Chain A
């Protein structure tokens, strides 16, 4: 299944792009924080907030993929939701094409969301089972009043063909498709408004290996053709290495290490990144037993009451008193290009 090359001209005729794109990052997130507050059922008093995202900063330029990796509960999905303003940030700035989205009203956000679209993990859950998939893909076009019925229909077919599907699929219901095909529909819907940024939240995690490879290649082809910027959220470090240009590793709401792909995978300097990489089983039986595996002790601490200083110190083999006192800045201590939030950052030899 190869996606037919989409004609950018026809696309922009229908969807007027906001392409006064200034050089530099399309999306810039600065010191983003998201807090969730649970209230006691008895006293209605607010408990101390759970800091799901705590001072996250990153940027994204056109045509580039930034990977956001980490284990469950590290705040990677919440970061995505906050960028979309689907949850409200407690602090920080979200600059899309230089404009801060933080104070935007619902109507203003509707316009912005044409430029930032999202693809979710479970395509069965993210498509309406009672709508034909053509209607699902057409929905964003109708909401934004883009074209009459004929034009919308033509655009739906164009989108289906872009993701390697056929025009006849438009009249079928989600239950008639496999998971991989539904994920293609999800991508087609996200592309309907010709966005500049696609937030992909675990887009291939629910898929089998052979289908996963199809979707990864499709995403790579689309990016090359349309110049999209991807924020790629995943817990699968092998997939991230394959698709991302830069990688940010999160732990308990904070970015602990950030760098380009080679920097992270070859010269990781934060102990958490190192343990994460060493824990991934290598699909090469000849190397069994040769890899030095760093097995972390213990479980993830409670996010409501995280450890003082560096959040990782309770599971870290390097932790000293300094780690409990101050939380380390995300800076390049080694001059190798990676920024790591560790007082004792060093690469493994």
Chain B
């Protein structure tokens, strides 16, 4: 683990610029998390399904990458594969490499993975209440995480550190509240405790799977702030999994869009929102009701996402795609994720060069300003 990276943590936009540069210039900095050609398969009574199909992306230290897509697109499974949490025996990693700070994680034994989880890579899950053990106090559980990775830490010291962590995530009267049981805490408070637990051992990679989906909007704002502080303080590479494009716009530096198990587009957050280069990304933007506007019509994507057993041949999105216009290539060949005209961003669409016209077409349908379809 290189400590040098910890000392200079670039802030939001700077970090994304650094990320882009490194991709362009043959990566001078090794990413904290690198997923290459990951494929996750599940055996089901109706045959083997591919939940994640040839997914590759990097997350650099101090950077937040959002993994977005609708339910069943493989975003959660891609993330679970990192700390080796793909549900076995039905599921397994069929191919690909996952490296964290240069260390290969695929193929590690359970014993080795336990050392990685909670120290090198840690996770925050969606349901805060069910992620905590109801029969132990919150403080006890944080002490457990600390001592699991550092046997030399005394109980007393671990307890102090747990209280310190709880107050750093904004738990008031942390020394008293640490003695509470999870049921005495609200959902937002439990999520704070889980974030404290996740950053307890200064992980290099922090994975947050829909961390605010179960929370009310005012509590969500508090928890997002805590996550941002946690990222800044630990300098960890953050992988944020969410379906909420508002959260993406506020938190992410770069975005990876998934559909039917594959990555369809990756770009910086501004590019994704203001100049999407894949028809699915554009469809998501056009489907989104905005708090700041009521004049525009929603343009929904027709149809529904495919069942994993019946992923269409060629481009998985082609049956719902407006840009396809009957062209047979889309149904025959899987489009590769290639670099598109606007710098080091990628799109998996055969006809990505037609996207700027497509944006204008959709903008007209929405009755919005054609220059920027996605802003109010």
Contacts and interface: CB of A to CB of B under 8 A. Distances in A.
Given A208-B70, A209-B245, A284-B249, A216 B290 contact: no
A101 B111 CA distance: 65
Contact of B270 (A211, A214, A282, A285): A285
A212 B374 CA distance: 17
B219 A211 contact: no
A332 interface: no
A296 interface: yes
Contacts of B293: 241
Nearest to A178: B304
Contact of B245 (A242, A277, A283, A293): A283
Interface in A1-23: 1
A213 B300 contact: yes
B291 A295 contact: no
B interface residue count range (under 10 / 10 to 19 / 20 to 34 / 35 or more): 35 or more
B261 to A, nearest CB: 15
Contact of B298 (A216, A275, A279, A293): A216
Nearest to A300: B186
Given A208-B70, A213-B300, A299-B219, A281 B283 contact: no
A108 interface: no
Given A1-B302, A299-B188, A299-B189, A280 B70 contact: no
Nearest to A261: B294
Which of A212, A213, A277, A293 neighbours the largest number of chain B CB atoms within 10 Å of its CB?
A213
B216 A235 contact: yes
B291 to A, nearest CB: 4
A71 B290 CA distance: 19
Interface string A79-109: 0000000000000000000000000000000
B140 interface: no
Contacts of B304: 178, 180-181, 210-211
A242 B12 CA distance: 31
A214 B285 CA distance: 13
A181 to B, nearest CB: 7
A237 B249 contact: no
B375 interface: yes
A279 B300 contact: no
B272 to A, nearest CB: 8
Interface string A254-293: 0000000100010000000001111111111110100001
A238 to B, nearest CB: 4
A308 interface: no
Contact of B218 (A210, A239, A261, A275): A275
Nearest to B293: A241
A279 B289 CA distance: 16
Contacts, number: 139
A220 B327 CA distance: 33
A49 B303 CA distance: 47
A265 B292 CA distance: 8
B368 interface: no
A210 B284 contact: yes
Interface in B275-289: 283-289
B270 A286 contact: yes
Contacts of A142: none
A326 interface: no
Interface string B291-320: 111100111111111000000000000000
A213 B287 contact: yes
B250 A216 contact: no
Nearest to A181: B304
Contacts of B221: 278-279, 281, 293, 295
A208 B243 contact: yes
B243 A282 contact: no
Which of B252, B289, B301 neighbours the largest number of chain A CB atoms within 10 Å of its CB?
B289
B192 to A, nearest CB: 11
Given A209-B70, A210-B301, A299 B186 contact: yes
A286 B284 CA distance: 18
Contact of A72 (B216, B248, B302): B216
A48 interface: no
Contact of A241 (B188, B291, B300): B291
A237 B247 CA distance: 14
A279 B220 contact: yes
Contact of B284 (A209, A242, A279, A300): A209
Given A209-B284, A213-B301, A282-B250, 13 more contacts: A217-B297, A241-B289, A241-B294, A280-B246, A281-B220, A281-B246, A281-B249, A283-B246, A283-B273, A284-B374, A285-B274, A299-B219, A300-B186
Interface of A: 1, 71-72, 178, 180-181, 208-214, 216-217, 235-239, 241-242, 261, 265, 275-286, 288, 293, 295-296, 299-300
Interface of B: 12, 70-71, 186, 188-189, 216-222, 224-225, 243-250, 252, 269-270, 273-274, 283-294, 297-305, 374-376
**9 tightest Cβ-Cβ pairs between the two chains A and B:** A281-B246, A213-B300, A213-B287, A208-B70, A71-B216, A210-B301, A279-B221, A242-B289, A214-B300
